[in-house]
Structure formats: structure tokens, C-alpha cells
Amino acid sequence: MSSPLHAAGLKSKAAELEFDACGIAAADDIDPTDHLAQWLAAGYHADMHWMERTRDVRRDIQLKLPGAQSVIVLARNYFIQRPESGKGQGRVSRYAWGRDYHRVLQKPVRALARYIEERCAGSATYCCIDSGPVMEKAWAVRAGLGWIGKNSLVLRRELGSYFFLGVILTTAEFDHDSPIPDQCGSCRLCIDACPTAAIVDARIVDSRRCISYQTIENKGAIPEELHDGIGDWVFGCDECQDVCPWNRRLGETTETDFLPRLGHANPSLAEIESLTEADFFRQFAGTPVMRAKMEGLRRNAIIARKNAGHLTGD
């Protein structure tokens, strides 16, 4: 049944809530070629076993929200120019410089979901901000927000790849948007720039070699063969994004919660190594860096310091 709230009105409300883009997709089969199963079978998910456990619901959103008719995908720019780093400093991925994006986006995403429920009597919604069993990137492409770059990230002309995604599943039906054609062409800058060769083929990333996975999700020892490639990264990695032509001329985010906290973009390696548990919580509470835990961040800083010493001859 068509919704009394039209797509234009929904997008207008999304803009009012300060989202930079909003797209709508019909709730059809999101993975007809079973790409996710192939990726998992290759072991590219490393030890992120929750992806295997939730494979079926990721592919079929009806298992998460029975009767879903529409998938609304929202984008919020988080780009900020990186402050210059100095000797003895590491690098943190841009998305983790400020407040945890899950917390920042939760309120406006839920506000839009409530708006739908209020105007579409009897409708139900389910919200996801990169934490539920939803294939956000695939839905973003289906909803016309952008295309998948060769580094497996969603790209959009005016936003590049530096934006967060929020998804709302709803039983309300809206006119849907058309996908945007792939605009990467023959470019392979992101593939060539990956320091650990984690992009094994266009749009296929092996998490086991990915610096972001190793410095955040891996709670054990990082394989020795990857140490040099990690360079000075202590949390995440932006190498494949920084070289992307679509990220060359971006406007900065208007969300103040995404602005870098003091010392978070390029933290002192020595200070990280000397952190106590209390120091760690005081400095990083409420930010994505908490996911690495203190021992993980310290492990990363030790590798980065050794790399810096090797490069400078210290």
C-alpha cells in the first residue's frame, strides 16, 4: 500500500535533520549473486564471526522486519582536513577523531523513523547505524546514494567516501530511487595505494590484510609481515580514501561532534604507550577508539614507533 507520506516529503525531513543525502530503495533481494557468501567462504572476514552468524538476515531484511517495503538510506558527511602531524605522532582514521558516530546519528535517524511511523499509520520501522545485520553499502547503492568504489566503499560525487550511513527499514512504501552508474572507470589508485595489499581485487577487501581490521578488530597479535605496511597508523587507515580523486575537493562537515578532539587525529605514540586504563577512558571515552581497547591501541603504537625508528634511523 502506498504511503500517505511522499518520498519528497521524507527527503525534505531528512535534510531538516541535517543529513547530506537521502535515498530510497525497494525492499527486494539485496544480494542476488550471493556475493556475501562468496566473500565469507574466502575467509576475507577474518575472525569477525558475527558476519557469518547473521548472513541470512543480512541478505533477507524480511527476517529483521517482516513486511518491509522500503529501505531508506541516509548519508552524513564527516570529512575534515587532517592537522599536520609531527615526529613521534601516529595517525587515527578521520571517522574516529570526534564523538562516536553511532551516538551522533542515533537521534536524527530515530527521529526520521518516528516521523514515518507518525505519518504512515500502522507502519513499523527498524533503524541501523553500522551495528545491525544490514548490508548498508549495498542498500546505499540500490537507493541511488552512490556506487561502490574499488576500495569497497560507497562513493558519491559531492561527498566522496567520507560519510557515514544510516538505514531505516520500514513497512511503509515509497517511490524508490535509481542506482547511480559506476564512475571509477579504469582508476586503480586505491588498489595500488593500499600498504598491505588488502584490496585483492576491485571491490574485494581481505580483512586479514586490512590495516583497519588489524588495528581495531584484531584483539591478538598483528602478523609480523604486516608491520611495515601499518606505518604510523594506530587506529584505522585512510590510505585508500586519501588517494581517491573523488575525495580531492570536499566540503567539511557541519557536525561539530565530528570535529577532532585535542590530540586525537595525530596522537603522541609515547603517550599512548604510557596510558593507564584510567587515562585511556578519560581521553577516549565516547569515541570510536574505545573499540580497540587500551591494549590494542598500545600494541598499535609500539608497531608505529618501531616503524618510525626504522624510517628515520633512530
Instruction: State the pLDDT at residue 155.
Output: 98
Domain shared by 156 and 231, yes or no: no
The boundaries of the domain holding residue 288 are 189-252+260-312
Domain shared by 267 and 300, yes or no: yes
**Where a domain ends, among 111, 135, 170?**
170
Domain shared by 235 and 139, yes or no: no
Domain shared by 236 and 160, yes or no: no
Any domain includes 181: no
Domain shared by 211 and 300, yes or no: yes
Any domain includes 205: yes
Active-site option among 130, 182, 228, 257: 130
Read off the pLDDT of each residue in 33-51 and give the average, rounded to a whole number. 95
Helix (H, G, I), strand (E, B) or coil at 63: helix
- pLDDT tens by residue, 128-158: 999 899 999 999 999 999 999 999 999 999 9
* Residue 122 CB burial class (10 angstroms; 0-12, 13-18, ≥19): exposed
Domain shared by 131 and 158, yes or no: yes
pLDDT band for 2, please (50, 70, 90 cuts). low
Domain shared by 202 and 150, yes or no: no
One DSSP character per residue, 243-271 reads T-GGGSS-PPP--GGGSPPTTTSS-BHHH
Read off the pLDDT of each residue in 19-30 and give the average, rounded to a whole number. 97
- Contact between 108 and 19 (Cβ < 8 Å): yes
- pLDDT tens by residue, 248-295: 999 999 999 999 999 999 999 999 999 999 999 999 999 999 999 999
Any domain includes 300: yes
Any domain includes 133: yes
Q: What is the torsional sign of CA 149, 154, 155, 159?
A: negative
Read off the pLDDT of each residue in 32-49 and give the average, rounded to a whole number. 95
Domain shared by 160 and 25, yes or no: yes
Any domain includes 202: yes
Is 311 a residue whose pLDDT tops 70? no
Overall number of domains in the chain? 2
Read off the pLDDT of each residue in 47-60 and give the average, rounded to a whole number. 94
The question of whether 206 is a catalytic residue gets the answer no
Q: Name 254's Cβ contacts closer than 8 Å, sequence gap at least 6.
A: 18, 77
**Where a domain ends, among 122, 138, 170?**
170
Any domain includes 206: yes
Any domain includes 87: no
Q: Count Cα atoms within 13 angstroms, Cβ side, for 153.
A: 23
pLDDT band for 3, please (50, 70, 90 cuts). low
Any domain includes 144: yes
Domain shared by 218 and 301, yes or no: yes
Domain shared by 128 and 265, yes or no: no
Domain shared by 164 and 23, yes or no: yes
DSSP summary character for residue 160: B
All 3 cell numbers of residue 9? 516529503
Domain shared by 144 and 233, yes or no: no
